Amino acid sequence: MKQHDVEHRLTELEIKVSFTEDTLDRLNDIVVHQQRQIELLTRELIELRNQRASADAPAFRSLRDELPPHY
């Protein structure tokens, strides 16, 4: 193999590594963003479940509310 061919192959490999690193960095950013979204949605889901549980529970009623109007 000639020196020029080796240099050319090395240059091509360096270019590929550079593109691969860039892609990996972008994918990592996407994964971090998605994880934040998952955490936010999980908190919102817990809140909604708690609100629903509160709404399903019978409201506090005083015994005075149970008295007929003529008392």
The Cα 65–Cα 35 span in angstroms is 49
* Selected residue with higher pLDDT from 62 and 46: 46
pLDDT digits (tens, 9 = 90+) for 14-50: 999 999 999 999 999 999 999 999 999 999 999 999 9
Give the confidence band of 5 by pLDDT, cuts at 50, 70, 90.
very high
Report which of residues 55 and 10 the model is more confident about: 10
Q: Is the dihedral of CA 33, 38, 39, 45 positive or negative?
A: positive
Considering the entire predicted model, what is its pTM? 0.63
